[in-house]
Structure 1
Amino acid sequence: MGAKTTSFNEIAERYMRNPERRAGVEAESEKLASAFQLMKAREAAGLSQAELAIRAGVPQSTVNRIEHGANTSFDTMSKLAFALGKKLEVRLA
């Protein structure tokens, strides 16, 4: 008799049953969604990370970190949104 295999979905489902783990995954998902939105807006504006950083008055490394999912302040995100001609929205759902 062969070894039983477990699918990724089965492992993920078991992992997500733990409320603390689920909260952590959801928090990371939100950060990555925000990072993706910033990158999309920057690229749509035809700007490099360095160009956006100059317009926003922040270091280029800050833009890079945010686009890779790092935490940042509301103030920094506001500067970046303004530099892109966008409005920053925060929603509690």
Structure 2
Amino acid sequence: MASCDDIAPLGTDGGLFSDYTNIIASALVIYEHSITFSQEMRVIWQRRRTLVSAIFLINRYNILCSAVIVLLLGTHAIENATIQYIAKCP
């Protein structure tokens, strides 16, 4: 049976660091989208549809969807690592 000494504490594992970094980046993308949405409504949605506006919207919402997916998958990995660490340590 593994002891607490055999398990790397949270934050020292490179994978967890990457997960936390992805979560921070995703949170920043979501925050940026939320504070610029009113400007997007005024500049993009209330004007004539063009190819440039379509490309802009595809790019903008592709990034937002990717950020949400990374955020959902990243939190699951961190929860698993936390549960494993707590379960093996008294």
* Pairwise TM-score range, normalised by the shorter structure: 0.3 to 0.5
Of the two structures, which has the highest relative contact order with CA contacts closer than 8 Å and spacing of 6 or more?
2
Q: What is the TM-score when the length of structure 1 is the normalising length?
A: 0.40
Q: What is the TM-score when the length of structure 2 is the normalising length?
A: 0.41
Q: From the two aligned structures, give the one with the greater helix fraction.
A: 2
